[in-house]
Structure 1
Amino acid sequence: MGTLIQHLIKLTDHRERDLLELTMSKALIDLLPLQRVVIARVVSEEGSNRWLQVARLDAKGGGMVADPLHVDFSSLPKLEDEKDRLRCIQTRSRVEVALQGDAGPRISYAPLFESSRTDDDGVLEIHAPKGLTEAEQGTVDVLLHVYRNMYHLLAYSDRDGLTGLFNRKSLDDTFYSAVLEELDEGAGSSAYAPLDSKPVVGQERRHRVPPNYWLGTVSVDHFNAIGEKSGHLIAEEVLLLVARILNNTFRTYDRIYRLGGEQFAVLMHCPDEGLVLAAFERFRTNMDKFNFPQAGHITACGGFTRITADDSPSTALERAERAVDYGQHQGGNQVASYGELVRKGLLGDLVNVGDVDLF
């Protein structure tokens, strides 16, 4: 059993936000007389909000972590189905439920964040055989306070300063840690992985990619003309609104990035190319219908590609951007699949030799 100081050191050692919830859960189980710790986040899809358990740890051993990119959204409980969790985030205060009277087991809920402005809202759910003492609750508060500080610190380094979307550094990190290093090491990936999952010794990272990851890019049509006509501030406002449309169109657990300038990217896990195309078409339609204040009618092109076992972020982005370029050369306001363009003979397939791309 480690000390509080030792667990705080572990919590502040991380450079990836995805590991913070599990580290905090392990600290709570190690330091306090608890039965279970659950961390549940609010995820959304097309205006519907549900609960996703991103981490669960039991005192007797075992537990699981969730990969949001693999989750079946329709199988998740709705917010109103977990009334105590919902009350916790609505009131931004701790909620405690006694299961068998004051001396019996109870569940307490604490909001992960003090403000509802975060796009990663959720609750810390603690199952205990009895009520926590004041000192024990103080330990929970300290760990949660450090977790919040670390989360926001790491979020700042992962985010684009203008739009608040993930930045290119975050794309590279996620590509290697979440895409090419699947916990189950293969194509049959599950949304939930047991905590005792072990990598296959000697297996190369690049061969662990599952077959259903997709990377897409989006580029605003005629963006330079917008800046020249309306000015720098209006062009920045356009980018902010494009980011909002992206957030409102794609699922909470799809990763949305700003690559720079008018270019954005989306990393998603989806079982079928047609569903990916439909998602990008929804975005294109939402852009087409939106009236940008002071800028008027603005469109965008999207392109996407399936991630392969030999990909790096750069090679996958190159293919997606070629699909975008094709759409813009065809007049803009289009979405294209790189694979479909190649199948139709409209693009030559890329062959990578070292750092040189051959067409």
Structure 2
Amino acid sequence: MHSTILHTLLSHLVELTSERDQIELEKLLTQTLFDLISLESRDHDQPSVSIYHAVDIEKQIFPIVALSQEAEEANLPSSLKNNLANCFKSGECLSYTPNGKVFTHLYPLKSAAHQPIAIVAITSEIEDPQQQISIRMLLQMFQNFTWLNHDNERDTLTGLLNRKSFEQRISKVLAHISNTSKRKDDTICHTYFLAIFDIDHFKHVNDTFGHLIGDEVLLLFSQLMTQTFRDTDMLFRFGGEEFIGVFQCTLASDIETVLERFRVKISNFKFPQIGKVTASAGYTLISADEISSKLIDRADTALYFAKNNGRNRNCYYDQLITDGLLQENTKESDVEFF
């Protein structure tokens, strides 16, 4: 029995440590914990393992990552919601028995800054102190790995994904688009876009106010990005004052609204010691069987057009081509401006 548990656990750990995407990591963690508890428990015990994130603690809105997507945050018992809120606020493990028979344990997952970012909820009919120790050790291993992963994939100044992680992330998006395009029976299709953002006249900021203030602008800019866009949107600092976003939209028209909202937010924000700063963006549709370098070239071309036509605007590469404002050379993949 012990060798079976050990083999299963090690197999899961090998799979988990080969993953980099946070959502996939959490799915693997729920499966690992479920199998660990199931193998150590009685045959009739049916444990459940879920991971909750806090969108709004006061309103008790907790999106869920679970083995089964049947559970929805809207259907969570009030006792669970209250305890999740308390666990997020305290950052400490909590245990309770909602019906006097089933044990529910809540374990906070913390960021590298030791702030709770998610709660692992495990429900089981068995209260096993040794099992609790095993679970805590496994969760600590998971946190250590995600912290190392975070340090390796994140930009030191802004905390956004760095350039090194871009290729791996965009390759997954392209593979997903390619696979989805082959499933003709799918009723829900999502459209993906890649956008490049550039702070207007950033060299002037550095030359006038110094690089320390310039770094503060970059940090605030990145914070406004994370506040404006969704957790599922992939945001990268690509270098200097240039940032990249990869966005999934239900409707193709949504991307214009999303980017315009961010442009307005930046232009209305008062940066300390500087005042107003604007940004320009160029974006393009991501299609199946693309390569990342071509996507960047197209978005960068649209960004260049925005910079040369007034700045503080968003330009859609594909629309510029349609409107005849750009002409694409399909043989050389070059673009001419009119």
TM-score by length of 2: 0.83
CA distance in 1, matches of 2:270, 2:77: 34
CA distance 1:125–1:76, change in 2 (3 Å): closer
The residue aligned with 2:219 is 240
CA distance in 2, matches of 1:297, 1:49: 36
The residue aligned with 1:106 is 103
Query: Which segments of 5 or more consecutive residues in structure 2 lack a partner in the other structure?
Result: none
| Residue 121 of structure 2 is aligned to residue 125 of structure 1 | yes
CA distance in 1, matches of 2:322, 2:31: 49
**Structure 1 residue 190: deviation in Å?**
8.8
- Larger RCO: 1 or 2 (CA < 8 Å, sep 6+): 1
Q: Which amino acid aligns with 1:238?
A: V
CA distance in 2, matches of 1:80, 1:235: 48
Matches within 5 A, 1:211-222: 212-222=191-201
Query: Which segments of 5 or more consecutive residues in structure 1 lack a partner in the other structure?
Result: 58-62, 66-74, 192-209
The residue aligned with 1:92 is 91
The residue aligned with 1:68 is none
Matches within 5 A, 1:21-170: 21-32=26-37, 33=41, 35-43=47-55, 50-54=61-65, 56-57=66-67, 63=68, 77=74, 82-101=81-100, 104-113=101-110, 121-131=117-127, 133-170=128-165
Matches within 5 A, 1:253-332: 253-332=232-311
CA distance 1:21–1:327, change in 2 (3 Å): same
Quote the RMSD (CA, aligned, Å).
3.1
Greater shift, 331-340 or 141-150, is seen at 331-340
CA distance in 1, matches of 2:213, 2:206: 7
The residue aligned with 1:20 is 25
Counting aligned pairs with the same residue, the percent is: 26
**Structure 1 residue 6: deviation in Å?**
2.1
CA distance in 2, matches of 1:258, 1:49: 32
CA distance in 2, matches of 1:177, 1:297: 37
**Structure 1 residue 27: deviation in Å?**
2.5
CA distance in 2, matches of 1:150, 1:12: 9
- Where in structure 1 do 4 or more consecutive aligned residues deviate above 4 Å? 75-81, 114-118, 187-191
CA distance in 1, matches of 2:110, 2:178: 28
CA distance in 2, matches of 1:285, 1:89: 32
CA distance in 2, matches of 1:49, 1:336: 38
1:225 match: secondary structure = helix
2:105 match: secondary structure = strand
2:284 match: secondary structure = strand
CA distance 1:96–1:341, change in 2 (3 Å): same
Greater shift, 24-33 or 107-116, is seen at 107-116
TM-score by length of 1: 0.79
**Structure 1 residue 215: deviation in Å?**
0.9
CA distance in 2, matches of 1:304, 1:271: 17
Q: Which amino acid aligns with 1:35?
A: P
